[in-house]
């Protein structure tokens, strides 16, 4: 099993920095029993100037608040306060390239009733590239994403991830690297922990919001498309379109931008190196480490 902390690791728990090995939570928590908590997945990077920078910190902590409020979890924290705490936590743990995991959870409560308070833990651990630089072999999952009429699908709620775990385990069990899930209507939705884009004739396409998590990396890719003058369309997508694509990629905080080698064992028309998707991948890599000169070169290179 992976190890996320050692005897020196510190986490932030309900107003205090405490040793991870000594931190306690209530086993009667409504969150533990029913998957009723919300969380974020954030990354920090060592920038080209050597500084530690939390990427899209405001967007992530704002989404944590939206997720909590969507699930009726009391939420009193300010985004800036949590960003400051997170920088302090990274420094205490001597981390620059890290994954940051805040979780807002409920007190002891075996009923389904509302709570009057919530708790917050923030954990950090070292993280390099997640899915790696290699291309992914992806399959259509037999699992669909949760029905937005049954869940607050725009919220990053712990319980939703049972669906992600089932899909990812199925794909890996069948020898693939990752799953791509459809929505309740059978249209292409997203990966277990990442959003999808595909490329056709120099243009990018991605599923519209509504049945997917509104990814912060997805929004960043849309911004990069704008800066690089790459046309991009948000729409309903069927899997046959992805079969006929020039390229496809997943994007997410942990996954970053990672290309597909194949989808349902079908390969793509273009080599990854020759796609605009690869330009987006390079631009994203430069953005997260604030390599501004390289970013300017890319804009000039494309125009």
- Positions that interact with ligand PMP (CB under 6 A): 41, 156, 164, 190, 193-195, 213, 215-218, 252-253
Per-position DSSP letters for 241-276, written without gaps between them? HHHT-SEEEEEETTTEEEEEEEETTEEPSS-GGGSH
State which H helix or E strand residue 106 sits in: none
Q: Token pair 């079969």 is at which residue?
A: 243
Instruction: Supply the minimum distance, in Å, between the C-beta of residue 191 and ligand PMP.
Output: 7
Radius of gyration of the chain (CA): 20
Angstrom distance (rounded) from CA 105 to CA 124? 17
Instruction: Supply the minimum distance, in Å, between the C-beta of residue 105 and ligand PMP.
Output: 18
* Closer of 63 and 278 to ligand PMP (Cβ): 63
Please, how many CA atoms are within 13 Å of residue 221, restricted to the half-sphere of its CB?
33
Q: Which residues are catalytic?
A: 156
216 alpha carbon, distance to own chain's centre: 7
| Helix and strand numbers, DSSP H then E, in the chain | 8, 16
* Closer of 98 and 213 to ligand PMP (Cβ): 213
Instruction: Supply the minimum distance, in Å, between the C-beta of residue 171 and ligand PMP.
Output: 14
| 125 bridge partner residues | 99
* Closer of 177 and 190 to ligand PMP (Cβ): 190
* Closer of 10 and 157 to ligand PMP (Cβ): 157
Instruction: Supply the minimum distance, in Å, between the C-beta of residue 16 and ligand PMP.
Output: 27
Closest residue by Cα to residue 179 from 169, 78, 70, 298? 169
């Amino acid at each position: 099993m992976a190890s996320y902390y050692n005897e020196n690791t510190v986490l932030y728990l309900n107003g205090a920095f405490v040793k991870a090995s000594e931190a306690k939570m209530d086993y009667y928590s409504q969150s533990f029993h029913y998957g009723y908590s919300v969380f974020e997945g954030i990354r920090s990077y060592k920038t080209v100037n050597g500084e530690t920078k939390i990427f899209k910190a405001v967007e992530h902590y704002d989404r944590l608040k939206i997720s909590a409020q969507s699930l009726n979890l009391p939420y009193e924290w300010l985004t800036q306060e949590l960003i400051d705490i997170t920088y302090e936590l990274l420094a205490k743990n001597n981390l620059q390239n890290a994954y940051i995991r805040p979780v807002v959870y409920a007190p002891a409560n075996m009923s389904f009733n509302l709570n009057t308070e919530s708790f917050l833990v923030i954990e950090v651990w070292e993280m390099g590239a997640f899915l790696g630089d290699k291309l992914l072999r992806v399959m259509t999952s037999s699992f669909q994403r949760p029905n937005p009429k049954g869940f607050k699908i725009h919220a990053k709620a712990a319980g939703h991830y049972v669906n992600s775990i089932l899909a990812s385990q199925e794909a890996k069990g069948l020898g693939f690297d990752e799953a791509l899930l459809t929505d309740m209507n059978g249209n292409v939705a997203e990966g277990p922990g990442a959003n999808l884009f595909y490329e056709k004739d120099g243009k990018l396409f991605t599923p519209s919001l509504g049945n997917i998590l509104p990814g912060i990396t997805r929004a960043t890719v849309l911004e990069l498309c704008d800066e690089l003058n790459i046309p991009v369309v948000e729409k309903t997508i069927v899997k046959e379109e992805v079969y006929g694509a020039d390229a496809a990629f997943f994007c997410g905080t942990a996954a970053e931008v990672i290309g597909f080698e194949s989808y349902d064992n079908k390969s793509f028309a273009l080599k990854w190196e020759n796609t605009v998707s690869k330009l987006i991948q390079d631009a994203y890599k430069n953005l997260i480490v604030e390599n501004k000169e390289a970013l300017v070169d890319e804009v000039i290179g494309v125009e």
